[in-house]
Chain A
Amino acid sequence: MVQEQLEKILLQVQKPARYIGGELNSVVKDPKMVKTRFAFCFPDLYEVGMSHLGMKILYSLKNAREDIWCERVFAPGDDMEQLMRKNGIPLYGLESLDPITNFDMIGFTLQYEMCFTTVLNMLDLAGLPVRSADRKGLWPIVMAGGPCTCNPEPLADFIDLFVLGEGEEVNLELIDLHQRAKAEGWTKEQYLEQAAQIQGVYVPAFYEVAYQEDGTIQSITPTHGAPAVVHKRIIRDLDKVYYPESFVVPFVETVHDRALIEVLRGCIRGCRFCQAGFIYRPFREKEPGTLNKNGYDLCQSTGYDEISLSSLSTSDYSQLETLLDEMLTWSERDQVSLSLPSLRVDNFSQSLMEKVQKVRKSGLTFAPEAGTQRLRDVINKNVTEEEVLHTCRTAFEGGYTSVKLYFMMGLPTETMEDIDGIVHLAQKVVDAYYANPNKPKGKGVQVTVSVACFVPKPFTPFQFEPQDTKEQFQQKQKRLLEVVSSKKIRINYHDSTTSVLEAVLARGDRRLCPVVEEAWRLGSRLDSWTEFFSMDRWEQAYQKFGIDPAFYASRRRSYEEILPWSHLDYGVSHAFMVRENRRAHANLTTKNCRQQCSGCGANKLLGRRCFD
């Protein structure tokens, strides 16, 4: 235990409660009574990591087994890291306050590319070599899961094994295998060889990558008996999947400090820019009764007064009104408010809005994503201007006086006309507010427009597309500000520097591993926080290893090119990506899965049709 050492430094850091555990519902076990000690690492600050649903699920799932003790580990803030290094305190689990250096397994969740250097920093803080090959023993096995494992190549040299897809079953299979390996005295290599035979497990060291002269990949060859293609895992019957009855309730305020229920997985929409919309397919829903119980149990065990109905697109849940009616029978009585974070403009009704705001009114956010109908068709957003305006009118009539609209810039085929369209649409929303005869007296409207820079991602129909260059992004941002004439419209946009880096890492190959390591050695970590980020370090790292970021970010790939993730299978077929990319360039939309199956291939994981 590092408790006494910690006590010396904790009063010198911001929000020390983040570093000491002891929260309600945190799980403490006797280390002598467990076979596997697991460190679940979230490579970002406590406030961010504690908001993440996947961690809550896997934490409870593992701790439900008597022989496993899963602890939480987060990246320390800058002040804490410096004091830990100065005082020789290694990274520790929040439950036991024991260093994780000798834990059996260390698992990272990779939610965004900008966390990669933090992963290395956390391994280093734990006193472990960052490179997989330099960690010789059977423990700790360092694994990683989460959306970024769909192309984990920039971390291939550091992580022992990646888990593709949903973790509820495969995590326990890997732990069982590790318990056997320890009992039978296997080497690390023996363990990884066996692990690679489990569906959903990708051991990067068992694949050899050869390159052509032009820098593209020539071949990816499995060794050690590893499969040529690794298929992701899914939970077939989502309604029966394990769900926690309690969450650890943090003392400090976190980003999302509320109860969460997971309404559905996957998405029927097929927006062509959206990685989550493809890698989490096929679409599966939970039953309203199950969800109602999940939500009720959580509020009872945590004392939260807000429940978020979480999913990629909650308004696509087929029994949403039934679910809300069931939940309202107790949530109103208990002063618990319901929030729906991801609503679509094309099915937002008056009655839905009334149900959501019955207990407390929260903000409204919609994502038209693009400013013109042509471009919305290219990205397959399947939302019309009239639907956006109708929704805003409904909201204004219901008493809302501010709306947030999300857009992207740099989308394939985009022109300045599309950029102007963003402002024009926002202006029409402002006009819709003033056209409402019942608008509150003396209150103006605020339309906030957030414009992100588009990052092409693996396993989307836009995986072949070049990203805009930094200069192109800057021109478009300038144009945006020039076109706005109303004070009612507030424009926010994203820094393009990080978006370009994100694009490099998202579609990068293993030649980026030394770059990631060098950027970290030069001081990079917590790259998603502007106060820690420095592009200079990354530029230096590119130069040292002769890497041209444009090769990864702003190059168009042919449909035939072997991509760094070609040996990974997320259910959605390559042929489908090509088909959808061609349709995008022809301004053709594709119907949503409920209207008509577009044959993406993900239903093969289900073994049946997605919809009857």
Chain B
Amino acid sequence: MINIRIFFAKTGRAKYISHLDLNRCMARAFQRSGLPLWHTEGFNPHLYMTYALALSLGFESTCESVDVRLLQEIPFEEVKARINACLPRDIQVTRVAQPVMKPERIAWGDYLVEIRAPLLQVFQELMAQDQILVTKKSKKGEQQVDLKPLVQVLDCQQREDTLYLTLRCATGIHTNINPMLLLDALFQRQGMERPWFSVKRVAILTESLEEFL
């Protein structure tokens, strides 16, 4: 049995697919590909698949990954080609590799953000605060979180009426900050409804800022 990690991009129209729906879509693609994959052996056998991270509904990404187990050795390029032939246009495998790191090591995620509103100044004011307190809703209830130590701004530009941001947010099983927390704080500060915006995850990193492999 060979553990493999399948890196894939989820872009375009596929950003509206929930994690649950993505999982079903992937399972069907694997089934169609005819690859010999390991199924769990419990009462209700199913295809073994485990994702490093979930991606929020509405976000694009170029760096998602799912682990499966091959029952026999097959060249990784062939695995990639066979799965891609079975996936919808906007979900495509970019790379297949042996897993190097455990998903627990994930600590940061980089996001490209586009906001169709000239909010540069308001954004800079927001980030200049000592604390950025927001309310985070989770299954356990509401919780006050200070975004300041958990979000870094790597880049920030305004061209015409669009604000372009590159954000590094705490990501993973320990602390997970959805960039929407910051964006909603920004829109709230400006007193506006959500304008058109897009968010794309472009990198997943460890604590020491190594790429998640």
Contacts and interface: CB of A to CB of B under 8 A. Distances in A.
Interface of A: 4, 7-8, 10-11, 15-17, 19-24, 26, 28, 249, 251-253, 300-305
20 contacts: A4-B196, A7-B198, A11-B57, A15-B18, A17-B16, A17-B17, A17-B18, A17-B21, A20-B13, A20-B16, A24-B25, A24-B28, A26-B88, A251-B22, A251-B24, A252-B18, A252-B21, A302-B28, A303-B27, A303-B28
B72 to A, nearest CB: 17
A22 B18 contact: no
Given A11-B57, A300-B32, A22 B89 contact: yes
Nearest to A336: B31
B32 to A, nearest CB: 4
Contact of A22 (B13, B28, B57, B196): B13
A24 B196 contact: no
Contacts of A28: 89
B58 interface: yes
Closest 5 CB pairs of A and B: A303-B28, A22-B13, A303-B32, A16-B16, A303-B31
B127 interface: no
Interface string B87-101: 111100000000000
B85 to A, nearest CB: 11
A10 B28 contact: no
Contacts of A7: 196, 198
B47 to A, nearest CB: 10
Contact of B57 (A16, A19, A21, A253): A16
Given A17-B18, A21-B13, A10 B58 contact: yes
B29 interface: yes
Interface string B1-34: 0000000000011101110011011011111100
A497 B32 CA distance: 46
A82 B88 CA distance: 29
Given A16-B16, A22-B14, A249-B25, 13 more contacts: A10-B16, A16-B57, A19-B16, A20-B13, A23-B88, A24-B25, A251-B21, A251-B25, A301-B32, A302-B28, A303-B30, A303-B32, A304-B28
Contact of A251 (B17, B27, B32): B17
Contacts of B17: 17, 251
A8 B31 contact: no
A251 B16 CA distance: 10
A94 B159 CA distance: 32
Contacts of B196: 4, 7-8
A302 B24 CA distance: 12
A7 B195 CA distance: 10
Contacts of B70: none
A23 B14 CA distance: 9
A10 B25 CA distance: 20
Contact of A24 (B16, B30, B87, B195): B87
Which residue, of B12, B21, B31, has the highest number of chain A Cβ atoms within 10 A? B31
A22 B31 contact: no
B86 interface: yes
A21 B13 CA distance: 7
Contacts of B28: 24, 249, 302-304
A304 B28 CA distance: 7
A199 to B, nearest CB: 39
A466 B149 CA distance: 74
A250 B198 CA distance: 24
Contacts of A303: 27-32, 86
A227 B193 CA distance: 58
A22 B17 CA distance: 10
Contacts of A10: 16, 58
B13 A11 contact: no
A253 B20 CA distance: 10
A536 B115 CA distance: 45
A371 B108 CA distance: 66
Contacts of B22: 251
Contacts of B12: 22
A416 to B, nearest CB: 46
Nearest to A24: B88
Contacts of B198: 7
B103 to A, nearest CB: 24
B38 to A, nearest CB: 13
Which residue, of A17, A252, A301, A302, has the highest number of chain B Cβ atoms within 10 A? A17
Given A4-B196, A10-B58, A17-B17, A22 B90 contact: yes
Nearest to A16: B16
A252 B14 CA distance: 12
Contacts of B13: 20-22
Interface in B171-213: 195-196, 198
Nearest to A301: B32
Contacts of B29: 24, 303
A22 B88 contact: yes
Contacts of B195: 8
A195 B114 CA distance: 51
Nearest to B16: A16
Contacts of B18: 15, 17, 252
B22 to A, nearest CB: 8
A249 B21 CA distance: 11
Interface in B18-63: 18, 21-22, 24-25, 27-32, 57-58
A304 B86 CA distance: 12
Contacts of B87: 24
Nearest to A360: B44
Contacts of A304: 28
Nearest to B31: A303
Contacts of B25: 24, 249, 251
Interface in B107-151: none
B82 to A, nearest CB: 13
A256 to B, nearest CB: 15
Given A7-B198, A11-B57, A302 B21 contact: no
Nearest to A252: B21
Which residue, of A21, A249, A302, A303, has the highest number of chain B Cβ atoms within 10 A? A303
A8 B58 CA distance: 11
